[in-house]
C-alpha cells in the first residue's frame, strides 16, 4: 500500500504549482507594440508598421492586431479579467469593450470571430493633456456712460 501512495503523493506534490497557477498569470506574453498590454497564450500579433518618415519608430504605437484560434467570447473574457487585474475598468455599461485606467488612458478591445479564428484589435487613446490656464485677457478701456465708441477711440 505504501508503494502505491508514495507515487501518488509525489505526483500531487509536483503538479500542485501547475494546479495553483492562474491561467492568466503575469507570465503571459505581452504586446510588442503596447508592452503593458497582455496577449493570450497562442495569440499571434501582426508585425507593427514602421513609420516611413521616422526610421526606428512605429507608425501607430497605440494600436495593434492579434489573431488566435478560438471564439471571441473566450478572448473577451480573457481581456475583461486581465485588464481588470491590471487596474483597468470598463468605461460604462454601454461600452463594455472600452476600458479606462487611472492615468486617463482608454483602451478599446474589438474582436471579430471568422472561420474559427478571432482577430483582436487593441486601440489605446492616451490621456488628454491637462488644459493650460488661459492667458489674461487684454484690458479694455472702460467706457463712461453716454460716451460713444467713436469718442473713446478719439481719446486714445
Report how far residue 19's alpha carbon sits from residue 15's, in angstroms, rounded to the nearest whole number: 6
- Residue 122: its pLDDT value, please? 95
Q: What is the pTM of this model?
A: 0.63
pLDDT for position 69: 95
Question: Could you tell me the residue ranges of all domains in the chain?
Answer: 21-125
Higher-scoring residue by pLDDT: 21, 74 = 74
Whole-number percent of the chain with pLDDT over 70: 65
The DSSP annotation for 59-104 comes to: S-TTEEEEEEES-HHHHHHHHHHHHHHTT-EEEETTEEEEEE-TTS
Amino acid at each position: 500500500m505504501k508503494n502505491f501512495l508514495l507515487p501518488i503523493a509525489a505526483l500531487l506534490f509536483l503538479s500542485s504549482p501547475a494546479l495553483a497557477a492562474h491561467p492568466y498569470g503575469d507570465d503571459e506574453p505581452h504586446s510588442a507594440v503596447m508592452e503593458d498590454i497582455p496577449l493570450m497564450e497562442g495569440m499571434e500579433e501582426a508585425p507593427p508598421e514602421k513609420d516611413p518618415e521616422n526610421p526606428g519608430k512605429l507608425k501607430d504605437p497605440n494600436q495593434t492586431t492579434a489573431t488566435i484560434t478560438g471564439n471571441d467570447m473566450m478572448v473577451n473574457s480573457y481581456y475583461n479579467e486581465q485588464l481588470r487585474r491590471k487596474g483597468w475598468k470598463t468605461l460604462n455599461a454601454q461600452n463594455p469593450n472600452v476600458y479606462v485606467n487611472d492615468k486617463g488612458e482608454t483602451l478599446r478591445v474589438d474582436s471579430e470571430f471568422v472561420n474559427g479564428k478571432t482577430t483582436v484589435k487593441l486601440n489605446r487613446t492616451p490621456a488628454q493633456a491637462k488644459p493650460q490656464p488661459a492667458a489674461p485677457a487684454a484690458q479694455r478701456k472702460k467706457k463712461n456712460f453716454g460716451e460713444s465708441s467713436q469718442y473713446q477711440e478719439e481719446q486714445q
